[in-house]
Structures are given as structure tokens and as C-alpha cells.
Amino acid sequence: MNIEASKESAAMVVTVTGRLDAVTFSGYEQKINALIAEGETKFVIDLEKLEYISSAGLRALLATAKRIKAKSGQILLANISGPVKEVFDLSGFGTIFQLYDSVESALEIVAG
């Protein structure tokens, strides 16, 4: 798994590439926690290049979302498709988050 974070005007865009599973979920959490510790509160998570997600990955998304919301922050998920979307649907996770078709549309919501 690879994580890249870039600061856009409205939020921190975090691009996750590869797998978010029982092995890699902690790396995702550490990255987000580090950004929260730096004072970031608004996040758009770009999952376009995510190839695989399991419940461990979903749990990591949820855990970091709770931390962000505890700081009165916002977290939006963008570009869910293919096998990742299927896992969201199968697990019931899709109803927990608002999902956006693109990073741009998510950033508009954050900026709004």
C-alpha cells in the first residue's frame, strides 16, 4: 500500500494505492493520525487506485473518521469503484459514509 497526501485549498487529499487489508491498515491509520496531529481536520480520501479492501481496511477508515470527527473535522471518500465498491456494498459500509464520484466534487462539499 502507498499513501500520498497533498494539501489542496479546502482539504488534505489522501490518495491510497494498492491494498487496504489486515496487513496494511495500520500504516493507513498511522498516516492519518500523523496528519491529524499536524492540525489537519478536513480530509478527502481518494480511493481510485485502491485495488483491494477488506473489513480490516473498512475498520481503519471508520476509526480514523471517528478521530477526525472528534476534532470537529470532516472526512469524505471519493472515487469508489470496482471491487472496492462491491466490498462497501457487501459489508454495509456504503451507508456509513457519503461517497463522491470525484475528488473535485468532494472538495466542493468541504469548501462549501
Partner 1 sequence: MIKIKQLSKKFGALVVLKDISIEIKAGEVISIIGPSGTGKSTFLRCINLLDQPSGGSIQIDGVNILDPKTDVPKIRQKMNMVFQSFNLFAHLSVMDNLTLGPIKLQKKSIKDAEQKSMELLRLVGLAEKANNFPDELSGGQKQRVAIARCMAMEPEIILFDEPTSALDPTMVSEVLAVIRRLAKEGMTMLIVTHEMDFARDVSNRVLYMDEGGIYEDGPPERIFVNPQREKTKAFINRIRNLNYHIASPDYDLYAMNAEIELFCEKQVLPVKMRQNLLLVVEEMLQLYNPLLSTISLDITIAYSEKKESLELVFDSLGEEVNLFEQNELPDEFGLNIIKNLAENIEYQRLNNTNRLSLILKKHEK
Q: At what angle are helices 25-37 and 55-70 packed, to 10 degrees?
A: 10
Nearest to 17 by CA among 52, 42, 43, 54: 52
Q: Specify whether the backbone of 92 is left (phi greater than 0), alpha (psi in -120 to 50) or beta.
A: left
Q: CB 70 → partner 1: shortest distance, Å?
A: 18
Nearest residue (CB) to partner 1, 8 versus 21:
21
Region from 1-9, 29-37, 39-47, 56-64 binding partner 1, contact rule CB under 8 A:
56-64
Size of the site for partner 1 (CB under 8 A): 16
Distances in whole angstroms, Cα of residue 73 to Cα of each of 8, 67, 87: 15, 9, 26
Nearest residue (CB) to partner 1, 22 versus 34:
22
Of 31, 91, 97, 109, the one binding partner 1 (CB under 8 A) is 91
Binding site for partner 1 (CB under 8 A): 21-23, 52, 54-56, 58-59, 62, 83, 87, 90-93
